[in-house]
Structure 1
Amino acid sequence: MKVAMKFQILKLLRSLKILATPCLVFLTFSCQTGLNTSQKIQNVKIVQNRQEMPNTVIQLSQQPSEPKKVVSVKDFGAVGDGIQDDTSAIQKAIDDVHKAGGGVVNFPSGIYKVTIKPNTAHAITIRPQLILQGNSNKKSVIKLASEQGNYSSILAGEKPDSDLSNFAMYDLAIDGNSSNNPVNSESDFNPEKLIMRHAVRIYIGKNINIERCRFTNLNSRNVITVNGNTAPFQVSVSDVLIKNNIFELISGGNVDYDHSTIYTHGKRIQIRNNYFSSKDGAGTKGARTAIETHGDEHTVKENEITGFTNGIYVTGYASSSNNLLITDNVIKNAHTGIKIWSYFSDGNTTNPAISNATVANNKISLNIDGWRDLWGNSASFGIGLEPNSDAPIKNLSILNNEISFTNFSGNGREIDNLASGIRMWRYAFPNINNENIRIEGNKITQSLASGIYISMLINKGEISQNNIVNPGQSNGNFHPAYKAGIIIDGVWKDVNLNSNLLEDNQTINTMKEGIISSVICKNICKVSGNKLQVNSNKNLQIFRQTSQQANNNFQISN
């Protein structure tokens, strides 16, 4: 996560007042936009170890008014042969539409070479009330010229505080020409001077659409940034739809650096049905994160991500991150799947940083050996909490996800003791409150250590109907207790651990115990209906408490 993204623009924007502008293209959010996910979840019922999710997707409808002007970049001298510099012609077309009050700039089929303007550090200045329309994302290409050095963005507003409301782009490709614009060191990026190599940069605006576009050959800190973090408890970006886009050949090269392909900080933002692939697959340097979210009312749904260190960051690094839905995504060849950050920041010093969040129905496949060279001293996990998180979490549901550990040669490491399918561990702040935590209906296969590892304070929770298959695959030098099906620790109140199925179907079993508990229960904690199945005929203990103090208030029936 990029703490540096709060750079000096915060001071520049702190006194900004965004003026309402007439909409050329605007999005209408139904009443479901402001749903309280935890309330919607209450009526979910479990059927055959799976859960039926309520319809919590934000519904959008596009209602464009008649564009005031429609032009082609070729009307202003653009050639699109990949040789002539078309920067000036494209800019003239955009400015002509802008002077008319908004409209559409068409890009007929062609490769439109653009160069970075030294005075702005970006190539093309985009405007509000503007649609950039291509013929298709394979035929209409904006390509960055070679040897452009370190720049801010290919497309950006005139100034960092330019309001880009009602900006949209459809059916276009942006080619960063990364082989001829390499990253030579991490110092090539300078957040304080906004030198980030974005493809699209938006700090202020509402009703933003980016659909059916292709972003390729890009070495950047972010490909798309819609970062509206202006001041504590204020955001300047809202109502964003990023859908049906392709992000390919991302990052790569000899330098590893912080990166999020899509970086958002705002509210009412949807990231749906996009495809992400890094340049070199598992182990690609600079392919840190595909999607990173900050702020309220985010839906991240039906995306496919392959070859990134982290698939999705769900962060509470904002004034508020409330009503979040992360569902039906496919994450492959990752080091970690979905990471949750819950930090006090941006004026919030007391409220939960993550609230009313649901992570459901995602399929996550971790490539262990593929990331060993780059991240060998960091444990893989499918879904987990960043262990230094210092802010509370309220109403978090992790439901019906499938997590598998793949491409593991068996060469274990000591750090593998924390390589669990689901890992909710507060290392630095173990006494921070976590309220209404639900981990249900998940299937975890071949984890290097335990299937589920929980070490934190929980006030009301449910860890039930999870299926753990063949945990403890690593032969790393760590205590065998870490190879249990489920490990739980912390102070709990009113938490149930019910009907989990722990399986080891191998001839030589790797699971060493069923459930190990060091929990101190302050009220009633029920442990019932859990099952342990081991094909090797070895007798394993299904539930073990590690101290007499932990026995208090447990109701056990397995």
Structure 2
Amino acid sequence: MPNTVIQLSQQPSEPKKVVSVKDFGAVGDGIQDDTSAIQKAIDDVHKAGGGVVNFPSGIYKVTIKPNTAHAITIRPQLILQGNSNKKSVIKLASEQGNYSSILAGEKPDSDLSNFAMYDLAIDGNSSNNPVNSESDFNPEKLIMRHAVRIYIGKNINIERCRFTNLNSRNVITVNGNTAPFQVSVSDVLIKNNIFELISGGNVDYDHSTIYTHGKRIQIRNNYFSSKDGAGTKGARTAIETHGDEHTVKENEITGFANGIYVTGYASSSNNLLITDNVIKNAHNGIKIWSYFSDGNTTNPAISNATVANNKISLNIDGWRDLWGNSASVGIGLEPNSDAPIKNLSILNNEISFTNFSGNGREIDNLASGIRMWRYAFPNINNENIRIEGNKITQSLASGIYISMLINKGEISQNNIVNTGQSNGNFHPAYKAGIIIDGVWKDVNLNSNLLEDNQTINTMKEGIISSVICKNICKVSGNKLQVNSNKNLQIFRQTSQQANNNFQISN
């Protein structure tokens, strides 16, 4: 499956007008309210047909306007330019209550095409604008506490900015879901930004630092850190994507319950590339949700997607208090996914389970490195599924767990080490290297290396299959190495019915 790097249109090299916010009375001392001065500068550039608003070094205090529920109204054909993301800071004043966004269009349907911001910081002043309950957010009234809100526009660039001290549903939302099969946001680049001290406090709530729903969107080389690391309340997800032609690449994420959430809950999510990201101190690394939405009841919700070369480290004990009733997973399909998947490749990822005290729970039976499981819709088609070249270490249960229908697939050349670390109250079969189930057609399970290098082995079997193979399913070249000299079975089928059409030559 070819994947292309999207080259976005550049902002105009010769903007029509260049002004400074200080020309309009902004002080930047962190004391005076600079909201009006900043707005005057933006509106002046807008009236001239577009241009640049410069923010010299300083802390620019802004307040929420009651009539709009946001602080600053941004415009199309506008560049906000700071001196650096350490020196030019837009800071929300204290005690601003519940609001829509710090930066937003005049109306939700305002077209913000060719908007850009560079080298700026936005400080949400979260300690003085706390979330007191989840009801502080009201999606129907757009009360979400965004830093930047864009619902309509193309050619959007946000680069080299810093977003800090924010308690919000989303820090950046580019959400162009206006109607089925009508995407109103496209050609977006979010690159080289810092998201720090995100969420935290006494209340847990749904959150995605970057939330996108659109087309041709790149999220690249950003750094994300929650306020309190593993277990931070409100640090639900760093990156959540909806829509076609997304590239999520070379980001570093630490201390979020979910690193990346790839969702087919869109009119279409086609041509997706999730690669070379580093995810640390997570409960789940990368989650995939293939779900029908408005206007789509038949087509694959996720298609032509590659998840490759990501490094994922899960912090088990760090999330036990907050998420202990759900099983951790390195890369996993949401079990309630109800839409088909076509051409999904999970390749060459490294997944490790860390910071586990050994205090297991029954739910750990599903804490696998890679888990593709449809419990609610087991007969939904999944076509051309490749899981190859991944390394999984110290999983609480199996290394790979697959329970779904597959029409053509390859599960090969994976290296699985020391599975079954949890002592939770569940059947020891869940501690196998690989567990497979479902109805399969033309699927290969080849050349996987299963290792247990511990003095007392925790891996209980090699590969356990309950698959019913409708056409040729090849199982060959798989190896099991156990240092404890236990004689474990490399491949076991749980029923005679499952034996049909298998070609086994381990």
State whether TM-score is above 0.5.
Answer: yes
- Residues 160-206 of structure 1 show CA distances to partners (whole Å, capped at 9, x for unaligned) of 00000000000000000000000000000000000000000000000
Residue 346 of structure 1, CA deviation:
1.8
| 1:323 aligned onto 2:271 | yes
| 1:410 aligned onto 2:366 | no
Residue 264 of structure 1, CA deviation:
0.1
Residue 241 of structure 1, CA deviation:
0.1
Residue 63 of structure 1, CA deviation:
5.5
- Residues 264-311 of structure 1 show CA distances to partners (whole Å, capped at 9, x for unaligned) of 000000000000000000000000000000000000000000000000
Any gaps of 5 or more consecutive residues in structure 2?
A: none
SS of the residue aligned with 1:254? coil
- Residues 345-393 of structure 1 show CA distances to partners (whole Å, capped at 9, x for unaligned) of 0210000000000000000000000000000100000000000000000
- 2:306 pairs with 352, 358, 362, which one? 358
- Residues 4-39 of structure 1 show CA distances to partners (whole Å, capped at 9, x for unaligned) of xxxxxxxxxxxxxxxxxxxxxxxxxxxxxxxxxxxx
Residue 65 of structure 1, CA deviation:
4.0
2:8 touches 2:187 (CA, 8 Å); kept in 1?
A: no
Structure 1 residues 55 and 395, CA gap change in structure 2 (3 angstroms)? closer
SS of the residue aligned with 1:271? strand
Report the equivalent of 1:423.
371
SS of the residue aligned with 1:62? coil
- Residues 442-493 of structure 1 show CA distances to partners (whole Å, capped at 9, x for unaligned) of 0000000000000000000000000000000000000000000000000000
CA distance in 1, matches of 2:395, 2:385: 22
Structure 1 residues 247 and 265, CA gap change in structure 2 (3 angstroms)? same
SS of the residue aligned with 2:22? helix
| 1:112 aligned onto 2:69 | no
Runs of 4+ in structure 1 deviating by more than 4 angstroms, as ranges, are none
Structure 1 residues 433 and 273, CA gap change in structure 2 (3 angstroms)? same
- Residues 484-515 of structure 1 show CA distances to partners (whole Å, capped at 9, x for unaligned) of 00000000000000000000000000000000
CA distance in 2, matches of 1:65, 1:104: 11
2:242 touches 2:262 (CA, 8 Å); kept in 1?
A: yes
2:9 touches 2:187 (CA, 8 Å); kept in 1?
A: no
CA distance in 2, matches of 1:429, 1:187: 32
- Residues 96-134 of structure 1 show CA distances to partners (whole Å, capped at 9, x for unaligned) of 000000000000000000000000000000000000000
Any gaps of 5 or more consecutive residues in structure 1?
A: 1-52
CA distance in 2, matches of 1:324, 1:432: 21
CA distance in 2, matches of 1:462, 1:177: 49
- Residues 129-178 of structure 1 show CA distances to partners (whole Å, capped at 9, x for unaligned) of 00000000000000000000000000000000000000000000000000
CA distance in 1, matches of 2:151, 2:43: 20
CA distance in 2, matches of 1:495, 1:130: 52
CA distance in 2, matches of 1:455, 1:551: 16
- Residues 501-544 of structure 1 show CA distances to partners (whole Å, capped at 9, x for unaligned) of 00000000000000000000000000000000000001000000
- Residues 56-89 of structure 1 show CA distances to partners (whole Å, capped at 9, x for unaligned) of 4323462524211000000000000000000000
CA distance in 1, matches of 2:484, 2:144: 55
2:8 touches 2:155 (CA, 8 Å); kept in 1?
A: no
CA distance in 1, matches of 2:263, 2:8: 24
Report the equivalent of 2:176.
228
TM-score (norm 1): 0.90
CA distance in 2, matches of 1:258, 1:519: 37
Residue 326 of structure 1, CA deviation:
0.1
2:369 touches 2:399 (CA, 8 Å); kept in 1?
A: yes
Report the equivalent of 1:254.
202
SS of the residue aligned with 1:348? coil
SS of the residue aligned with 1:192? helix
Residue 228 of structure 1, CA deviation:
0.1
CA distance in 2, matches of 1:157, 1:527: 57
Structure 1 residues 55 and 236, CA gap change in structure 2 (3 angstroms)? closer
CA distance in 2, matches of 1:270, 1:339: 18
Identity %: 99
CA distance in 1, matches of 2:497, 2:392: 30
CA distance in 2, matches of 1:61, 1:91: 26
2:3 touches 2:271 (CA, 8 Å); kept in 1?
A: no
CA distance in 2, matches of 1:259, 1:54: 32
CA RMSD of aligned residues (A): 0.8
Structure 1 residues 241 and 284, CA gap change in structure 2 (3 angstroms)? same
CA distance in 2, matches of 1:544, 1:339: 29
2:238 touches 2:259 (CA, 8 Å); kept in 1?
A: yes
- 1:180 pairs with 128, 140, 148, which one? 128
SS of the residue aligned with 1:423? strand
Q: Residues 155-554 of structure 1 correspond to what in structure 2 (within 5 A)? A: 155-554=103-502
CA distance in 1, matches of 2:168, 2:8: 30
Residue 54 of structure 1, CA deviation:
7.2
SS of the residue aligned with 2:429? helix
SS of the residue aligned with 1:61? coil
CA distance in 2, matches of 1:182, 1:501: 49
SS of the residue aligned with 1:268? strand
2:8 touches 2:188 (CA, 8 Å); kept in 1?
A: no
CA distance in 2, matches of 1:258, 1:86: 31
SS of the residue aligned with 1:550? helix
CA distance in 2, matches of 1:519, 1:92: 66
TM-score (norm 2): 0.99
CA distance in 2, matches of 1:346, 1:108: 45
Structure 1 residues 63 and 249, CA gap change in structure 2 (3 angstroms)? closer
CA distance in 2, matches of 1:538, 1:460: 34
CA distance in 1, matches of 2:15, 2:465: 63
CA distance in 2, matches of 1:64, 1:86: 27
CA distance in 1, matches of 2:306, 2:484: 37
